[in-house]
Structure 1
Amino acid sequence: MPNTKSAKKRLRQNLVRRARNRMVKRTVRTHIRKVREAVAAGNIEEAESLFRVAVKKMDQAAAKGVFHKNAISRRKSRLSALIKKAKQTPAEE
């Protein structure tokens, strides 16, 4: 447990920030999962609209420092590639 006044304040701040960061991470993961589920179900149009929302949430999380910008860039790239691959698959059959 913290002993000094400043350490107690830092503990309070850390708890609030941790809760906020966990909420943001959970939101990002949920949006990514929704995009993946839409692609798996074959709903490409829905996946694209969900992807736009997910990208917005990911960019906001990167701006807040919850995720590293390169990690967000990698996730966006992989989701985009997944959607692109799903688009091309029905056309080839």
Structure 2
Amino acid sequence: MAKVTVRYWAAAKSAAGVAEEPYEAKTLAGALDAVRERHPGELSRVLRRCSFLIDGDPVGTRDHETVRLTEGGTVEVLPPFAGG
């Protein structure tokens, strides 16, 4: 298990009620399962629309089960942004 920091942005931060928090997980899927367990409800709904960065690298369409986390790493949770 890797100890990582999950950072929430915009609507994800609002739904979580915190800007970041620590988790232990082997994969992105494991970390997101733990997030959903800790924050059932609105954050779980927000996560369905989010994109993710792992240590600054976009996850894109990769299966979250295959995205390995590293000790001390960071998972950025990015909801869709409106803008122009």
TM-score over 0.5 (shorter chain): no
Which structure is higher in helix share? 1
Q: Which structure carries more strand by proportion?
A: 2
Q: Report the TM-score, using the length of structure 1 for normalisation.
A: 0.27
Higher Cα Rg, which structure: 1
Q: Which has the higher contact order (CA 8 A, sep 6+)?
A: 2
Give the TM-score of the pair, scaled to structure 2.
Answer: 0.29
